[in-house]
Structure 1
Amino acid sequence: MRRCLSRSLLVCLLFATFARAELPPDYKVVLLTENFPPFNMADNNKNFAREKNISGLSADIVREMFKRADIKYTMTLRFPWDRIYNHTMNTANHGLFSTSLSEARKPLFKWVGPISKYESVLVGLDSSAPLKDLEEAKAYRIGAYQSAAVSQYIERLGFTPQNALRDQENIRKLQSGKIDYWATSDPVWRFYAKEQNATGLRTILSFHTSDLYLALNKDIPDEVVERLQAALDQMRSEGYGTCKKNPELC
């Protein structure tokens, strides 16, 4: 009995020590994101937005996560992805979402998630030839978004995609015959197609499912990562970011 009490007391002391750990009063995480609808996007459809002018499924989850973890933050949407990705990787107290976690990226950041997920697909015209697998697609011209996870994924498989600075450019390239297929994300491509009133497009091949995360600079304290992950886990248990709360994802 005495041994059990000692163990219980030790657990309580450890918990109390963790609970008392506090960040400096002025501590703040600088969050960066991009237009990646419906996960994160500027309300004014521009390539720059701040705070309340950023919306989306992931943006809402990240806000709630920081609120529950009691950690201050700022949120800015910028362009292009390549720049904010490298800036986050090289700048203390910065975070980036929505980001795919790959083996190549894993050691570059600290990670919280998953916050959402998406499907990697090849999009073509209604008249495009069907594809049985990605290997068959290597005989065609593939458009993609520069430095995006989908582009990096197919590059690792031996593709040399025609990378554009804006994902929307691939819709015009596809319709004008400059590329045969567009390597992108679902539901992202559907949002852009609707935005540009583009018709006659369809998913030709679905080839990979990816979770989306909050990527944090490696100098971020572990305490921050743990508090954010605990907040997200609690939110998940309540249905945030799942079919229960967001049937449009399913």
Structure 2
Amino acid sequence: MKQLLCLILITFSLKLAAVQLTIVSEDLPPLQMNNHEKPASGAMVDVVHLLLKEAELSAQLQFYPWARSYKIAQTQKNTLIFSMFRDPSREKYFQWIGKIFTLESFLVALKSRNDIQINQLNDAKKYLVGSIRDDLAETYLTAHGFKEKQNLYLNSAYPALWKIFFNGRTDIAFTNSTWAYEIKNTGLDPNKIKVLYKIPNITSDLYIAASLNTDKTMVIKLKKALATIKADGRYQKILTKWHL
């Protein structure tokens, strides 16, 4: 009986190992980056690789524009997708494995600016705040009374925002959890920055999920693996490596 049980378990494990998983994502530095001819990189790529290793599964990672990745993950068998916002409109279309990152929003300033004190958002209206045009941050700030050319300076992209900020043309920058990576990638020093204020009510949880017709045993293994790498510190070590 014991030998039969072992044989069944071995056969089941071999069948599971033989199933080829596909993982789809989009290019979203520094969380996931498609390096084309080179291996993909990024904090969430590292997390997903570790997750697969812990679950003893293998997969092929493919990058597409988000709309295509989303459609593939909805329709194809044994397919995972990351990093994806979870909301009620998406809930029934996926098997949700777990949260892999939380994006938060902040107001930051140079450490040398001891004159800037922010206890609430309205305090920032006395200063010139840098943000990105047509971004959620612009919508949030204008909804709370900030006005362009008065106390709001809008930039086309983050490299421009950080260069203008470091040159002293803005006092404060509205940014998110990836700010240290962005600053370093622009060739500037993130160690010169201090967080003034965490913006309330702008928190976005990012998940890894599986298509509905993905093998449920795989999903269970991945859920357990994610819990394990979070509990033993390996997940946090990856975030620290990427300054997140």
Contact 2:21/2:58 (CA < 8 Å) preserved in 1?
A: yes
- Report the CA distance shift for 1:89/1:167 in structure 2 as closer, same or farther (over 3 A): farther
Contact 1:88/1:217 (CA < 8 Å) preserved in 2?
A: no
Give the counterpart of 1:207 among 174, 199, 208.
Answer: 199
Residue identity in the other structure for 1:225 = V
Match of 2:131 in 1: 143
1:120 is the counterpart of 2:120: no
**Aligned-residue CA RMSD (Å):** 4.7
Give the counterpart of 1:197 among 187, 203, 206.
Answer: 187
Q: Map of 1:47-196 to 2, 5 A cutoff? A: 48-50=34-36, 53-76=39-62, 83-84=65-66, 86-91=67-72, 92-93=75-76, 95-101=80-86, 109-117=94-102, 119-125=104-110, 127=113, 129-134=116-121, 143-144=131-132, 151=136, 155=140, 158=143, 166-172=157-163, 174-175=165-166, 181-186=172-177, 188-196=178-186
Following the alignment from structure 1 to structure 2, what is the Cα–Cα distance between the partners of residues 109 and 169?
38
Give CA deviations for 1:177-215 in whole Å, capped at 9, x if unaligned. 8876433223x2112212223356442322356554324
Residue identity in the other structure for 1:170 = L
Following the alignment from structure 1 to structure 2, what is the Cα–Cα distance between the partners of residues 108 and 145?
32
Contact 2:129/2:174 (CA < 8 Å) preserved in 1?
A: no
Contact 1:90/1:217 (CA < 8 Å) preserved in 2?
A: no
Following the alignment from structure 1 to structure 2, what is the Cα–Cα distance between the partners of residues 106 and 146?
27
Contact 1:144/1:182 (CA < 8 Å) preserved in 2?
A: no
More off after superposition, 28-37 vs 152-161: 152-161
Match of 2:149 in 1: none
Following the alignment from structure 1 to structure 2, what is the Cα–Cα distance between the partners of residues 221 and 156?
44
Following the alignment from structure 2 to structure 1, what is the Cα–Cα distance between the partners of residues 229 and 179?
27
Give CA deviations for 1:47-70 in whole Å, capped at 9, x if unaligned. x32596223443222112223434
TM-score normalised by structure 1 residue count = 0.59
Contact 2:108/2:172 (CA < 8 Å) preserved in 1?
A: yes
Percent identity over paired residues: 19
Residue identity in the other structure for 1:32 = S
- Report the CA distance shift for 1:247/1:173 in structure 2 as closer, same or farther (over 3 A): closer
Give CA deviations for 1:198-237 in whole Å, capped at 9, x if unaligned. 3564423223565543244556454443231122223334
1:236 is the counterpart of 2:217: no
Q: Map of 1:39-54 to 2, 5 A cutoff? A: 39-41=31-33, 48-50=34-36, 53-54=39-40
Match of 1:44 in 2: none
Following the alignment from structure 1 to structure 2, what is the Cα–Cα distance between the partners of residues 162 and 25?
54
- Report the secondary structure of 1:241's partner residue: helix
- Report the secondary structure of 1:168's partner residue: helix
Extract unaligned runs of 5+ from structure 1.
1-11, 42-47
More off after superposition, 154-163 vs 21-30: 154-163
- Report the CA distance shift for 1:26/1:102 in structure 2 as closer, same or farther (over 3 A): closer
Q: CA deviation at 1:105?
A: 6.1
Residue identity in the other structure for 2:173 = W
Following the alignment from structure 1 to structure 2, what is the Cα–Cα distance between the partners of residues 153 and 105?
26
Residue identity in the other structure for 2:61 = M
1:34 is the counterpart of 2:27: yes
Residue identity in the other structure for 2:161 = N
* Alignment length (residue pairs): 218
Extract unaligned runs of 5+ from structure 2.
147-151
- Report the CA distance shift for 1:241/1:162 in structure 2 as closer, same or farther (over 3 A): farther
